[in-house]
Amino acid sequence: MIEIHRLKKHFGNLEVLNNIEFHVKKGEVITIIGSSGSGKSTLLRCINLLENPDSGEILYHGKDILKGNININHHRTKVGMVFQSFNLFQNKTVLENCMIGQTKILKRSKEEAKEKAMFYLKKVGMEQFANCSSTQLSGGQKQRVAIARALCMDPEVLLFDEPTSALDPEMVGGILDVMKQLADEGLTMIVVTHEMGFAKEVSDRVVFMDKGVIAEEGTPEQIFINPTQERTKEFLHRYL
């Protein structure tokens, strides 16, 4: 579904992504782990066209999204993103947050958009909050709504950038449960996370990034039980 070749990105003198090779198949759940500043968010943001890489290819179903005139909004309906800081529209209700992309970008009718929104709000346990202002919600509730909003666009793949890092500890488990359910249902997911339990249990493949490169990748068993690189071992040592 996604194939990345020789991807490079720098900010000023800083090489943030250095020759990234990365691929994702339909139905795979991939977790990306690594220290702060290693380039994890930048990689996700390139896949979602929130950043413009310097060079390389990002093939989505074989077509390079960095070339030609890609419709960015359309691309983002297929490749959705869930952020650490939720990024809900503050002045809108929960329901409106879940409808606006559907009506504006997918041109769905209000009725259809509402039906879909309620379906996904129910899925994440937030249907009773449909008419609340998003500002009234706790962090965990906001993240549930953000996930529902992303699902409403019928994405083929969802990118999660540290979706539980801004949450109170007691909220983390509920969000991870929602994500695990989506994984079990076969959604293709790329998840940047520091939740090593989730990475171990849920992902098909774990990618360890260090200083702008993919230092090591493999199954959870390979990465967590038999890492081959010293820097992977050092990183994991801090968590295990």
DSSP 8-class letter at 207:
E
Burial 132-165 (b: 16+ CB within 10 A, else e): eebeebebbbbbbbbbbbbbbbebbbbbbbbbbe
Region binding ligand ADP by CB under 6 A among candidate stretches 39-47, 80-88, 104-112, 147-155: 39-47
Of positions 4, 29, 30, 40, contacts ligand ADP by CB under 6 A: 40
Whether the Cβ atoms of residue 78 and residue 224 lie closer than 8 Å to each other:
no
Which CB atom, from 44 or from 113, has the smaller least distance to ligand ADP?
44
Residue 148 interacting partner from Mg ion, ligand ADP, none (CB closer than 5 to 8 Å by kind)? none
Q: How far apart are CA 197 and CA 29, in angstroms?
A: 14
What is the smallest separation between the CB atom of 98 and ligand ADP, expressed in angstroms? 27
Region binding ligand ADP by CB under 6 A among candidate stretches 37-45, 96-104, 113-121, 177-185: 37-45
What is the smallest separation between the CB atom of 81 and ligand ADP, expressed in angstroms? 13
The site map against Mg ion for 28-67 (x = CB under 5 A) is -------------x--------------------------
Site for ligand ADP in 1-30 (CB under 6 A): 11, 14, 16
Q: 226: exposed, middle or buried (C-beta count within 10 Å: 0-12, 13-18, 19+)?
A: exposed
Q: How far is CA 229 from the centre of its chain?
A: 26
Round the CA-based radius of gyration of the chain to a whole number and report it.
18
Which CB atom, from 152 or from 175, has the smaller least distance to Mg ion?
175
Instruction: Say whether residue 141 binds Mg ion (CB under 5 A).
Output: no
Q: How far apart are CA 113 and CA 153, in angstroms?
A: 9
Region binding ligand ADP by CB under 6 A among candidate stretches 34-42, 109-117, 163-171, 178-186: 34-42
How much of the chain is helix, strand and coil, in % rounded to 5?
Answer: 40, 25, 35
Site for ligand ADP in 60-99 (CB under 6 A): none
Q: Retrieve residue 22's tokens.
A: 């990365």
Region binding ligand ADP by CB under 6 A among candidate stretches 40-48, 118-126, 166-174, 221-229: 40-48
Question: CA nearest 85: which of 165, 145, 170?
Answer: 165
Binding-site ranges for Mg ion (CB under 5 A): 41
Binding-site ranges for ligand ADP (CB under 6 A): 11, 14, 16, 34, 36-42
